[in-house]
Amino acid sequence: MDGTVVHRACNVEYILDFRTASMEREAVTPERAAETRASDALVSAARAGDRMAFGRLYDRYARMVHGILLCRVPPRDVDDLVQEVFLLALQQLHSLRDISRFGAWLTTITRNRANDHYRKASPVDRSTDPAAEEQAESRTNDPVVEQEAAMTLAVLRTLPETYRESLTLRLVEGMTGPEIAARMGLTHGSVRVNLHRGMHMLREKLAEKPRGSGKALGAE
């Protein structure tokens, strides 16, 4: 293993790269501050009815929404729910008082939509093993990689919410620590701590699994 795990679900290929998932130390740069100002401008324009601006917000935040949903619902439902979340956001955008909190506000909408979806799901759907579903939908020709990816994502879902979300955004969606912080309205320091602690917990849980699954996390 070179430290990466490839996983395909819902016709999307996920690459879980544990080599770069440990504590990140990227500083907040002037470019990052400029990006924040650009997001605020897009939110203001979208509130004024600019659909193109809202489309650009979608491009910026879709990975975050996708990752948060992936923590909570079966992969087969995620793509449809991403669209529903952004439709809700568009309908409710006028209620957002602080445009600088758009990311945190969208995060709350996403979590609430996922919780609603889970409550309305049938008992059969609730009992479906996400790992088994992902493995069935995988198209990789390497059964070892397939099994380890499914197991890793299943174990990841058992972590506390804060760690689960940060790690999914980092490992599955490929977002950096500063990107996660900027999109979710968190401090870079808190995200860095969540990634560090979450990775430690994930390693421990995988080490308890049979077949030495934790070896995929050996490289930094």
* Higher pLDDT among residues 48 and 147, named by residue: 48
Mean pLDDT of the region 83-95 = 96
Half-sphere exposure of 150 (CA within 13 A, CB side): 20
User: CB 214: neighbour CB atoms within 10 A?
Assistant: 18
- pTM value is 0.76
Cα–Cα distance for residue pair 177/199, rounded to 1 Å: 13
Tell me the per-residue pLDDT of 162-195, one tens digit each, with 9 for 90 and over.
899 999 999 999 999 999 999 999 999 999 999 9
* E strand or H helix at 131: helix 130-137
- Contact between residue 110 and residue 69 where contact means Cβ atoms under 8 Å apart: yes
* Beta pairing partners, 16: 5
The per-residue pLDDT for 56 is 96
**What does the domain layout of the chain look like in residue ranges?**
4-217
* Higher pLDDT among residues 32 and 113, named by residue: 113
Q: CATH for 4-217?
A: 1.10.1740.10
Both tokens of residue 18? 């544990």
